[in-house]
């Protein structure tokens, strides 16, 4: 049969944002995929060069609108590193707690939409959103806004956590654990989900390393790599947690890695809440970097929900001279042509879903 | 670099220091958990750099993005289309000489 070229997107429910794919198919088999990105390009890196340091968190948050706190924290942490400002100890614990809650919220949204994409409509989706709403409520009560928090300051937060913070974190962790552990049985007994994720979009270990994929996609291919382990920040080195690794590298393993990560996040939250010292967690407003900035370049790595994010910054007095961001979703989308060759066309959407791309971060 | 065990490429980017460019490669060794930063100076006049895409397949998109944003020509690889396809190849937005407020036309 002749090869047919199909255009998918730029607006398509399966592409999670504005992504255009040009797909060459032979019958139902994919011969080639060419992702066209750039529809959401705002020029964030250039914009951040023209704004002062305290103005920039509102840009970093919108990079990944599913998990805004993660990018925000990465940015604020790199400014802290440039200034040499230490983070107060209670704030370090609180940041770890909130970041892990943010990771759970992000993975829940991913799971809900992923299962929705592959045709198992709305049941899991509604469950995931029910749980995610509770996480967002806690984050709202801590920061004051539901999605875009902008509550990080140099060395701490804009305000102290509410007095019942520890108790509420424990309650929420218990609730999440009881609900999330239930998903496993439902999904494993679901023939649609299993058929459409098992042995779909297989990425081998060598290819995963060569193509530089990040986060859960890398770990699902059997590579033990997590920035919380390899470049510990805050109090992650004091936490006892496992880095889930799977060997097959298919869409199902990517789901399993994220699923287990949620449970590990709950463990981290419990430990951090118990170990969190009393004390003031407020920080200073983000100010200008004066001549006290010691190194001429700053590199900061953190494990975001989608993988390892890096900020490479050349600081200047008032504004960053250059700020480059490594987006994990960018690296993960780049591997799409590689893993979708030879797959069926209908499975393309479960592959995109399993990569957990977010276009705002990829296009920047 | 790869022969030394730095098998994982994290990012390629560049900085415009107006009198020269600096191309930055962040590579990583998963086994040893060690980072390495390689900085390559590139002259401001007709900047060019050799591709690393054969050693690091991950470099494909990073090189194309850098080429579009900084106008640094990548030699030794097949000329694919630009990555974001937003600029017509005469203006490079992440250069310091980029002029604001001009009416740019999107390339389709």
Tell me: the pLDDT tens digits for B15-61? Answer: 888 888 889 998 888 888 788 888 888 888 888 888 888 888 888 88
In a domain, A23, yes or no: no
In a domain, A9, yes or no: no
Within 45-64 of B, beta carbons closer than 8 Å to A belong to: 56-58, 60-61
3-state helix/strand/coil string of A262-288:
HHHHHHHHHHHHHHCCCCCCECECCCC
**Nearest Cβ partner of A324 from B13, B61, B85?**
B13
* pLDDT tops 70 at residue A98: yes
In a domain, A28, yes or no: no
What's the number of domains chain A is made of?
A: 1
Quote the pLDDT of residue B3.
Answer: 58
A263: contact with B, CB 8 A cutoff: no
Quote the pLDDT of residue A291.
Answer: 54
Band (pLDDT 50/70/90 cuts) for residue A265 is very high
What is the ipTM metric for this complex?
Answer: 0.82
Continuous H helices in chain A = 44-50, 57-63, 68-83, 89-117, 123-143, 165-188, 191-197, 205-210, 215-220, 227-230, 251-275, 328-334, 336-340, 348-355, 359-363
Identify the CATH number of the domain in which residue A66 sits: 1.10.645.10
B68: contact with A, CB 8 A cutoff: no
Q: Do B84 and A308 touch (CB under 8 A)?
A: no
Check residue B45 and give left, alpha or beta (phi > 0: left; psi -120 to 50: alpha): beta
**Nearest Cβ partner of A334 from B15, B61, B93?**
B61
Judged by average pLDDT, the poorest of A82-96, A122-136, B72-86 is B72-86
Contact present, A322 and A49 (Cβ < 8 Å): yes
A47: contact with B, CB 8 A cutoff: no
Chain A residues closer than 8 Å to B86 by CB: 38, 41
Q: Among residues of chain A, what percentage have pLDDT more than 90? A: 12
Band (pLDDT 50/70/90 cuts) for residue B80 is low
In a domain, A291, yes or no: yes
* pLDDT tops 80 at residue A318: no
To the nearest whole Å, the CA of B46 is away from the closest chain A CA by 21
A41: contact with B, CB 8 A cutoff: yes
Quote the pLDDT of residue A281.
Answer: 81
Contact present, B43 and B62 (Cβ < 8 Å): no
Tell me: the pLDDT tens digits for B67-76? Answer: 888 888 888 8
The rounded mean pLDDT for chain B is 80
Chain B residues closer than 8 Å to A312 by CB: 11, 13, 24, 26
Query: Which residue out of A324, A328, A337, A361 would a mutagenesis test of the B interface target, given it has the greatest number of B Cβ atoms within 10 Å?
Result: A324
- The DSSP symbol for A25 reads E
B37: contact with A, CB 8 A cutoff: yes
- Provide long-range contacts, Cβ within 8 A and 24+ apart, for A8-16: A8/A348, A10/A36, A10/A39, A13/A117, A14/A117, A14/A348, A14/A349, A14/A352, A14/A353, A15/A349, A15/A352, A16/A113, A16/A352, A16/A353, A16/A357, A16/A358, A16/A359
Quote the pLDDT of residue A232.
Answer: 87
In a domain, A2, yes or no: no
Domain coverage including residue A309:
45-363
How many angstroms separate the CA atoms of A70 and A95, rounded? 10
Mean pLDDT calculated for residue range A178-206? 86
Band (pLDDT 50/70/90 cuts) for residue B105 is low
Quote the pLDDT of residue B20.
Answer: 87
* pLDDT tops 80 at residue A33: yes
In a domain, A242, yes or no: yes
Query: Which residue out of A7, A18, A210, A212 would a mutagenesis test of the B interface target, given it has the greatest number of B Cβ atoms within 10 Å?
Result: A212
In a domain, A27, yes or no: no
In a domain, A33, yes or no: no
Nearest residue of chain B to residue A230 (CA atoms): B33
Quote the pLDDT of residue B48.
Answer: 82
Judged by average pLDDT, the poorest of A26-40, A88-102, A241-255, B75-89 is B75-89
């Amino acid at each position: 049969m002749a090869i047919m070229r199909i255009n998918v997107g730029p607006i398509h429910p399966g592409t999670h944002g504005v992504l255009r794919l040009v797909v060459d198919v032979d019958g139902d088999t994919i011969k080639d995929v060419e992702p066209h990105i750039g529809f959401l390009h705002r020029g964030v890196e250039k914009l951040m060069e023209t704004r002062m340091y305290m103005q920039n968190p509102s840009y970093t948050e919108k990079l990944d609108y599913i998990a805004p706190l993660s990018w925000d924290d990465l940015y604020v942490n790199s400014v802290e590193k440039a200034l040499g400002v230490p983070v107060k100890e209670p704030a370090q614990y609180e940041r770890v707690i909130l970041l892990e809650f943010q990771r759970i919220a992000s993975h829940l949204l991913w799971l809900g939409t992923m299962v929705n994409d592959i045709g198992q409509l709305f049941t899991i989706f509604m469950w995931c959103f029910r749980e995610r709403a509770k996480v967002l409520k806690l984050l709202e009560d801590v920061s004051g806004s539901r999605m875009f928090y902008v509550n990080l300051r140099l060395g701490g937060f804009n305000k102290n956590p509410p007095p019942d913070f520890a108790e509420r974190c424990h309650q929420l962790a218990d609730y999440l654990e009881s609900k999330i552990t239930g998903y496993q049985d439902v999904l494993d007994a679901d023939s649609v989900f299993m058929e459409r994720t098992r042995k779909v979009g297989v990425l081998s270990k060598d290819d995963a390393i060569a193509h530089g994929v990040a986060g859960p996609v890398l770990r699902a291919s059997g590579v033990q790599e997590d920035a919380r382990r390899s470049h510990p920040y805050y109090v992650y080195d004091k936490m006892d947690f496992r880095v889930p690794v799977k060997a097959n590298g298919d869409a199902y393993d990517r789901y399993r890695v994220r699923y287990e990560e949620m449970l590990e996040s709950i463990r981290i939250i419990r430990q951090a809440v118990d170990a969190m010292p009393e004390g003031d967690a407020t920080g200073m407003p983000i100010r200008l970097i004066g001549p006290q900035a010691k190194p001429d370049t700053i590199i900061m790595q953190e494990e975001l929900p989608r993988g390892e994010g890096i900020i490479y910054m050349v600081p200047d007095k008032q504004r960053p001279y250059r700020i480059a961001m490594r987006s994990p979703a960018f690296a993960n989308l780049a591997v799409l042509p590689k893993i979708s060759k030879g797959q069926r066309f209908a499975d393309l959407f479960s592959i995109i879903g399993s990569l957990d791309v977010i276009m705002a971060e990829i296009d920047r | 670099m790869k022969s030394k065990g730095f098998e994982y490429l994290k990012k390629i980017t560049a900085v415009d220091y107006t009198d020269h460019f600096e191309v930055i490669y962040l590579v990583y060794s998963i086994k040893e958990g060690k980072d390495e930063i390689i900085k390559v100076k590139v002259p401001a006049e007709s900047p060019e750099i050799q591709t690393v895409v054969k050693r690091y397949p991950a470099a494909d998109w990073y090189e194309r993005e850098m080429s579009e944003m900084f106008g640094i020509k990548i030699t030794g690889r097949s000329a694919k289309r630009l990555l974001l396809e937003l600029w017509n190849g005469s203006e490079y937005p992440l250069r310091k000489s980029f002029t604001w407020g001009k009416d740019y036309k999107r390339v389709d």
